[in-house]
Structures are given as C-alpha cells and as structure tokens.
Amino acid sequence: MRSELPQELLSAIARHWGFRELRPLQTDAMRAALAGRDSLVVLPTGGGKSLCYQAPALVRGGLTVVVSPLIALMKDQVDGLARNGIAAVRLDSSLTTDQWNTAIAAIRSGETRLAFVSPERLVNTATHQLLLAAGANAIAIDEAHCISHWGHDFRPEYRMLARLREFFPGAAVHAFTATATEQVRTDIAAQLNLYDPEILVGNFDRPNLTYRVLPQTDVISQIRDVLDRHRNEAGIVYCLRRADVDATTDALRRANYKAVPYHAGMSTEDRKRSHDAFSDESADIVVATIAFGMGIDRSNVRFVIHACVPQSIEHYQQETGRAGRDGLPSECVLMFSLADVMALKRIKEKSATEANVPPEQLQATKQQLEIMARYASGAVCRHRALVNHFGQNYDKPNCGACDICLGDTEDVPEATLLAQKILSCVARVKEGFGANHVIDVLRGASTEAIRSRGHDSLSTYGLLRTMEKPELRDYVFQLVGQGALSQSEGQYPVLQLTPTSWAIMKGQQTVKLIQRATPSTARPEKGTLPADSDPELFEVLRQLRRQNAIRLSVPPYQIFTDATLAEFARVRPTTPDRMRLVSGVGDVKLRDFGDAFLKTIANFARERGLATDLNPSREARSSSPPSAKISAAKQMSFALFRDGAAIEDVLHRTKLTRATLADHLAEFILRDKPESIFHWVPEAVCERVAAAAEQLGTGRLKPIFLALNEEVDYESIRIVIAFLESRKAL
C-alpha cells in the first residue's frame, strides 16, 4: 500500500477490511476524499470502488451520504459493512417504522458516518435536510453513469441529482462508475456540477477474464458446454426476452442444473426468491434478462454467458464484469447472432416510440448496438478491442485469455477470395435480398424464391455449394460486423454493399475471417484456482463458509471471498497471526470465524501430511499496517526540492503527475520545514491562501478554493496549507 495516506486510514483499512495493499487509483481517490475535493472515479467492476468512499468516511469526520439506485444494492453494502464491524444505515421504503427511527437516531447521534439513500428520496423528500443537519460533508454517487443520456443505463431520477449543490453547498461530491467513455465522463461532471474534479480512470482490462465469442447455433447445447466446464460454480446466463429466460431455465432444470429465473415479468416474491437463492449459493445459475445484476454483489461468479447480444460495449463490460470480482480466473462467453441485433433494434425503436424518446438518443442507442456487433464479429484480441473502445492502449501482443489469442479460432484460408464471392452474390441479386436468400444462392439451393427470380442462372449460384449453412451465415455476419457489408433497417432487412465491399471486390483491400479451431489445435482451459491452491481444501472451506452463512442468514461472500479461501488453501495457516497475513481477513472476521477455519485447515493438513503456514503470495500482506517508508520516486522528488528545483523541472525529471508531485511537495514541506515556498508558489498566491485559511481553517481545501473564486488550483492550496502547518510545529 502506498504511504501517501494517513496512518490512521491505513490502520482502519487493515483492521476492518483486512487489506494491506490498495488497488490502482484507490489511493488517489481516497486522497481526494480526505481533501474534500470533488472527484470522478472510473474503476472497472471488481476494482474496489466502494472502499474509496467507505474507508475515508471512518476517519474524515462528518457524514458521508452514498447515493445508490437499488434497495438490494444498499442492503448488500450496509450488511457487508456490518460484517466488517462498521456502522452504516440505509434509508429506504423497505424499513419498518422502528428500523427507520433507529437509523435516524444513529445518523443524528453521529454513531454512523455512512448513510445510504436512493436519488429519489434524497431529492424529493426532506431527507436531505436531516442529513445536512447531521453534518453531511461528502456525497458519493454510485453507478454515476445513470445520470448521462450517453451512458448505457440512463435513469431519469438520477438527473435530479443536479440539485445536490443546492442541498449540500459545502459538501464534496464524488461520482463512481465502472464503465464510462470520455463522452460519458464529461457529461457526468457537467450534470453534477463538479468543481475542478480529480478525474481518475482505471485500467479497463480484466486480465482474469477469458472472453469467447461463438456463432449462435444450438443455444442450450452451447450453454451446457460452458456449465459443464464450471461444475458447482456460480454463473449468470443472459437472455434477450422473458420467454427465453423461462424456456432456458426449464431446459437447464430438466438437465439437473440448479438454475433459477429472473426477469421483470415475475412477481416481486418470485424475483426475491431467485435473488436470495443465487446470493446464498443454494442455486448456482441465474438465467436472466439483461436488466438483472445491478443488485447482486456475489464476488465468486465464475462465468457469464450471453445467449443474446448485449445492448452496447458498456453493457457488455459491466455484465461480464460480474464474473471474477475476487480476481480469480473466470470465463465470459457470447453467443452471437446478427438476428438478435436486428431484434434488439426493433425492441429499442418500439420502446423509444412509446416513451417519446428524442431521435438523437435512439440513434445513439442503435449506434452502440452496431459497435457491439463489430466487436463480436471482429478477428482481433478481445481484451485489446474492449480496452481500445474506452480510449486506452493495450500493449500485449497476446492476452492469453480470449478465443483469438488462445487459438480457439484460426484464420480462414483465402478469406479475401471467400469474401469476394459473398459480396459478388449480393451485387448479382441487386442488393435486394436478405442473408438467407443470398446464402441459399451461394449454396445452390433449389427453392421457389430462387427459381422464380432466375437466380439459379447467376454466376454466383452454387459457388459455395460445399459449405454448411451455419458456417456461411457466420462469415456473412462477420463481413457485416467489419463494415464490409451492411444490413438495412426494418422488419425484412436486406444485405447491401458498402465502399469497403467494392474495394474488396476490386482487390484493393483484404479482409480477415475466422473459424472455430479444431479441438487438437485449441489450447486447454485455465483452472479457476491459483497455482498451488489445494482444490479439495478449497471445497471443504467453501462448505464451512456456507454453513456459517446459513447460521447467520448472510450471503457466503460476506464471510470470506473465494479469493481469500483460495489463499487459505494455498498457505494453510494454523494460527491467528498467520491467518491475518491473508488479504481479506480483518479483526472482526478473525474474531468471528478464525477458530473454525483454522481448526478445519489444521485437521485437513494433518490427515494428508501437508505443510502448513506457508508464506503469503505477496510480501505486501504483512500482519501490521504498512509503514511510512518513502518510495524511490518520492526520495528523488525530495532531493530535487532540497536543491531548490522548480516544480516544472521536477515534473520533467520524475515523470510524475502534477497531483502526485504536489502531494510529494506537501509532505516534503511538513518533513523538512523549509523557510520559504515562494519559488514553488508565488508570494501573492501564498498570501491569498493564507488569508482564506485563517478565516476558514485548514481542515478542508474546497471552502478555500471557493473563497478564492476558483482562481487558485488545489495543488497550490495544498502546498500552502502544508507550509502553514509546518510553521505550527516550529
């Protein structure tokens, strides 16, 4: 864990969550929270967003209000915090009168520093007055992409959050989301009126996920192939329609899979039963429409199957992101059909007409679908395609975790020649027919539609007679996905040529097509557990976890995650001190569950003659919170500052960001207590900041920033405040 954060916060994180290292950008997000600076944090699912606002709330003082879109999501977070020994409350319609009064009392007394609330309740009721009176000084907005028309899950109620500045004029606002393009990030910041926010965008790559795209053929058989690779493991199967959910669930149940359905057509009670069965691990598989998942916080989902096309890359990233949140290897399989794309477009058009959606919004939705189709039809590394979509670079030549790079697919020989034959047939039928007719002509089918139009006399008739229909259909859809063909709108779409089509037919451009590799050339599956984790012990510990979860009526992942159990199965701790070395073991969990798990591990190891108390997988997992050891980068910054180097010179030589360097300089000032800081911050600016600080105090930066008419940046304010604090110690 980096040492820029206060020791008090580091200790709290180790004590309550059992984490002794932070993931990328978590430190920066927490630093912004502690400084009272607005922020926009984009961390992929499983990147630890919730810790970024939960942990600072424990040490900052005041009340942090967390805006969340679903009651189930709020309940999961509040219950999870309670299991870690942290008091938190939620204010929602599911509470009884007594529960409501207890929550209000906890807020007013200062017993809790975290209050969860929906956007509607926060804006449309007097709740905001209660929270403001209780000292609310930070607002954390979860699923912040819901506020943007350009986001993949726009919710009108989130637009009301633009009034937060009116209700909480002095509070910092922190927006959190897992998926947001640059356009969506800009819109979020504008809608929430964020003041000079710290914008932190994590790496969108999920290296523990293996992505595969298959042409949709026999869907149930294809789903079962995936399920059989993940026996007794949790997974989600997404379907397009409610009827598909019911039919798929029935088929899987008949085949003795523990599956439950979930869609909006079910009663509230039935949906709750399915939700609870999946959450408490009495069911392994939930079959759902794409509306499912936001309220699920199960960390050990091992596979996500899309038996239909997702609505956008953003939807796909979020839905597949529900797999492997604990960092263990997981699989994501998309069964692609262009017919699903067309069906989903029609559904969107119908919904848009009924809801009177602006034409530009509908067009943006359809464009997102087309981008999704190009991804599914592409022949490039899936990890690279996803990361590039979000504006980031992917440097690995081979990800080792997708169908393209694993050798599940192989290039089609003479793909350009094959494409020319398909495109020529579309030209010969004068771009007036759909994919089925074109495929029938190429395969030399003898149908009334072909004979009556004289298409059996075309030069392309029977040109691909030996090719199976599903295989040829896949190549047609790959060409559409790559822009080498287009498909018209409407109920009966026809294939049409594009400028790329003509370039390919004239030999001016080549094309790449892929096909399924033969079993002998495809690489074997990666295992779920990390190397050296004993799978038998892992399963024993999983059963022990479930027994405790049933006894306490909590989801199993709230006791220990699969990643923690896997590490137990690797290092086999036999004492509390050794167990504490494992990430995810905080004081409360060690107290409540340590004895039972230690006894089970010791007995298992003794019976099988296995070594115990092995070293943890990473040195950073120490039994005590991290020390304030100075990093090499910080040592270099300090040395340059001592030599009187200007900020721009230090930036150039260290290659650090300006925000990080400002933090280094502030810490250097507190440690070395220089006589002057005028060569880093102009004297006039120092005087303005000092005057504002004398009036407003130095506890928070934002009031000073606002008092100075937003004319002095946060970095300069932070440096001057550090200098003022250093003077007090003399």
Residue 705's Cβ-count burial label (10 Å; 0-12, 13-18, 19+) is buried
Higher pLDDT, 131 or 725: 131
Which residues, 6 or more positions from 100, have their beta carbon under 8 angstroms from its beta carbon?
Answer: 91
Let me know if residue 577 belongs to a domain: yes
Per-residue confidence band for 2, with pLDDT thresholds at 50, 70 and 90: very low
- Residues 209-236: pLDDT tens digits? 999 998 888 899 999 999 998 988 999 9
Please indicate, yes or no, whether residues 177 and 96 belong to a single structural domain of this protein: yes
Higher pLDDT, 324 or 615: 324
- Check residue 700 and give its pLDDT: 65
List beta partners, residue 680: none
Please indicate, yes or no, whether residues 192 and 214 belong to a single structural domain of this protein: no
Q: Please determine, for residue 628, whether its predicted confidence score (pLDDT) is greater than 50.
A: no
Integer Cα distance of 393 and 205 in angstroms: 10
Maximum CA extent, the chain = 98
- Crossing angle of helices 382-389 and 313-320, rounded to 10°: 120
Please indicate, yes or no, whether residues 427 and 551 belong to a single structural domain of this protein: no
What percent of the chain is predicted at pLDDT more than 90? 33
- Check residue 427 and give its pLDDT: 95
Mean pLDDT over all residues of the chain? Answer: 85
- Crossing angle of helices 71-83 and 49-60, rounded to 10°: 60
- Residues 132-173: pLDDT tens digits? 999 999 999 998 888 876 655 667 778 888 888 889 998 999
Let me know if residue 2 belongs to a domain: no
Higher pLDDT, 163 or 516: 163
- Check residue 293 and give its pLDDT: 53
Q: Please determine, for residue 631, whether its predicted confidence score (pLDDT) is greater than 70.
A: no
Please indicate, yes or no, whether residues 153 and 258 belong to a single structural domain of this protein: no
**Exposure pattern of 528-553 as b/e (b: 16+ CB <10 Å)?**
bbbeebbeebbebbbebbeebbeeee
Let me know if residue 615 belongs to a domain: no
Q: Which of 147, 176, 201 is the last residue of a domain?
A: 201
- Check residue 612 and give its pLDDT: 84
> What CATH number does residue 593 fall under?
1.10.150.80
Q: Please determine, for residue 338, whether its predicted confidence score (pLDDT) is greater than 50.
A: yes
Q: Please determine, for residue 621, whether its predicted confidence score (pLDDT) is greater than 60.
A: no
- Check residue 531 and give its pLDDT: 66
- Residues 644-701: pLDDT tens digits? 888 888 888 877 777 677 778 887 888 788 888 888 988 888 888 888 888 777 766 7
Nearest to 439 by CA among 411, 412, 474: 474
Nearest to 19 by CA among 326, 251, 317, 309: 326
Let me know if residue 523 belongs to a domain: no
DSSP state of 102: H
Please indicate, yes or no, whether residues 417 and 383 belong to a single structural domain of this protein: no
Which residues, 6 or more positions from 6, have their beta carbon under 8 angstroms from its beta carbon?
Answer: 34, 59
Please indicate, yes or no, whether residues 547 and 489 belong to a single structural domain of this protein: no
- Check residue 352 and give its pLDDT: 81
Please indicate, yes or no, whether residues 180 and 218 belong to a single structural domain of this protein: no
Please indicate, yes or no, whether residues 304 and 373 belong to a single structural domain of this protein: yes
Q: Give the mean pLDDT of 362-384.
A: 83
List beta partners, residue 285: 235, 259
Let me know if residue 369 belongs to a domain: yes
Residue 457's Cβ-count burial label (10 Å; 0-12, 13-18, 19+) is exposed
Within its chain, how far is the Cα of 389 from the centroid?
14
pTM for this model (two decimals): 0.68
Q: Please determine, for residue 627, whether its predicted confidence score (pLDDT) is greater than 50.
A: no
List beta partners, residue 42: 177, 201
Let me know if residue 111 belongs to a domain: yes
Q: Please count the other Cβ atoms lying within 10 Å of the Cβ belonging to residue 325.
A: 24
- Residues 259-302: pLDDT tens digits? 999 988 888 889 888 888 888 888 999 999 876 654 566 778 99
Token pair listed for 526: 């990666």
Range with the poorest average pLDDT among 55-69, 170-184, 414-428: 170-184
Q: Which of 408, 443, 472 is the last residue of a domain?
A: 408
Let me know if residue 708 belongs to a domain: yes
89-91 β-sheet, strand order: 89-91, 114-117, 63-67, 136-141, 172-177, 39-42, 198-201
Which structural domain range is residue 103 located in? 7-201
> What CATH number does residue 492 fall under?
1.10.10.10
Please indicate, yes or no, whether residues 423 and 398 belong to a single structural domain of this protein: no
Q: Please determine, for residue 421, whether its predicted confidence score (pLDDT) is greater than 80.
A: yes
- Residues 545-580: pLDDT tens digits? 989 888 888 878 888 888 889 899 988 998 888 898
> What CATH number does residue 386 fall under?
3.40.50.300
Per-residue confidence band for 390, with pLDDT thresholds at 50, 70 and 90: confident
Q: Give the mean pLDDT of 231-247.
A: 92
Within its chain, how far is the Cα of 329 from the centroid?
15
Please indicate, yes or no, whether residues 382 and 459 belong to a single structural domain of this protein: no
Please indicate, yes or no, whether residues 661 and 540 belong to a single structural domain of this protein: no
Integer Cα distance of 562 and 556 in angstroms: 9
In SS3 terms, 647-712 reads as HHHHHHHHCCCHHHHHHHHHHHHHHHCCCCCCCCCCHHHHHHHHHHHHHHCCCCCHHHHHHCCCCC
Please indicate, yes or no, whether residues 656 and 589 belong to a single structural domain of this protein: no
Integer Cα distance of 42 and 49 in angstroms: 8
Q: Which of 482, 516, 550 is the last residue of a domain?
A: 516
Nearest to 315 by CA among 357, 369, 381: 369
Let me know if residue 376 belongs to a domain: yes
Per-residue confidence band for 362, with pLDDT thresholds at 50, 70 and 90: confident
